[in-house]
Structure 1
């Protein structure tokens, strides 16, 4: 079973990495691919270049078995849509292998505004990671979409290639890349928010100053 976690990763920080590791272990994934986007469609464009964001990602996960950087979106022109990425992965992995798209609870609440949300569930399971401060009832359209799809046991995801929704508790780390960038812009330390290897790249290149 393969996991996928996309994001701007501008920069990647511990709020990305610890929940990713939680899911890798809890779901017993063979691997979890972290995929930096190229052109954002629902958020501001990244400040760091694709090359540096990929370098920071690779530095952050170096030596952690099961986590791997996947640059396929950076090589694809135009907006970075999860549907296109999952189609690409399906072409590579085949139709039968279970595929899990990991999303934060806040992003999940806007899922119906994504490009082809129903088609995404034809390609992958949706694993919703808990995040601090996110709660309350789902919008009716989203509630209708997940009705009958929700499962409570990660082992259920192995029984079918796609289509289920799992709410997975993860370590609660309320860290935002905007906060990291602002600290650096102010000349303050962002240590303990991002891995030291990422901080080293930021210092060497003068990113976010």
Structure 2
């Protein structure tokens, strides 16, 4: 059966590490990866850039890359409600569209798995979808999981990506991919401080940030020169 895979996050901004994970998942799962920007994530501070900016940067980042697409459903839902953006709501929306028997997978980083027990209705999330977990620097999956998470995921791991196509959900798969040290938080700090940052993002995204003065790039006092710009 067709496996539908979704990679959620604030993507604030989308960077090379995000794309490395998405491409690795595309190859491992043999399916299109839908990058899904969150509108109002309840587990973290408000994004540094507005939703439409973040979605526009995602469009630029994946342009011309086969098997990567942008899904705006959480942004569209937020436009009609003031409620926080919960993954369980997204899963139920996907189930309403694709049916209860369609294999659905969510792609998350190992750092997100460590906090999974604090998500809304974690048991329903685990039962209702597969979870592909990418290693992240400082949050490798070999580390001890918090006891509440270990109890939730115990016995659900599989080594076989093809197994995710055989059921609607309930399994976890470890995604091995090249680890990137950058994080969106670090990139935002570097931009605001006028430090070098453009090499950490796809070039069109870096140009977009500079053109729109996002993350303090216009007020940092630094002249941001990108590859291909005059004088570079």
Q: TM-score, normalised by structure 1?
A: 0.95
Kept in 1: contact 2:24–2:175 (CA 8 A): no
- Which residue number in structure 1 is paired with residue 223 of structure 2? none
Q: Please tell me whether residue 95 in structure 1 is matched to residue 100 in structure 2.
A: yes
- Which residue number in structure 2 is paired with residue 168 of structure 1? 175
Larger Cα Rg: Structure 1 or Structure 2? 2
Q: Please tell me whether residue 81 in structure 1 is matched to residue 82 in structure 2.
A: no
Instruction: Give the secondary structure class of the aligned counterpart of 1:166.
Output: strand
Gaps of 5+ in 1: none
Shift of 1:66: 1.2
Shift of 1:188: 2.8
Shift of 1:10: 0.9
Cα RMSD after superposing both structures: 1.2
Q: Please tell me whether residue 44 in structure 1 is matched to residue 45 in structure 2.
A: yes
User: Pairwise mapping of residues 27-176 of structure 1 onto structure 2 (< 5 A)?
Assistant: 27-29=29-31, 31-77=32-78, 78-135=83-140, 136-176=143-183
Shift of 1:97: 1.9
Instruction: Give the secondary structure class of the aligned counterpart of 2:199.
Output: coil
Q: Please tell me whether residue 17 in structure 1 is matched to residue 19 in structure 2.
A: yes
Instruction: Count matched residues.
Output: 208
Q: Please tell me whether residue 26 in structure 1 is matched to residue 28 in structure 2.
A: yes
C-alpha distance in structure 2 between counterparts of 1:49 and 1:83, whole Å: 23
- Which residue number in structure 1 is paired with residue 9 of structure 2? 7
Shift of 1:148: 1.9
Instruction: Give the secondary structure class of the aligned counterpart of 1:73.
Output: helix
Higher relative contact order structure (alpha carbons within 8 Å, sequence separation ≥ 6): 1
Aligned residue among 186, 192, 196 for 1:185? 192
Gaps of 5+ in 2: 217-232
Q: TM-score, normalised by structure 2?
A: 0.86
C-alpha distance in structure 2 between counterparts of 1:93 and 1:195, whole Å: 32
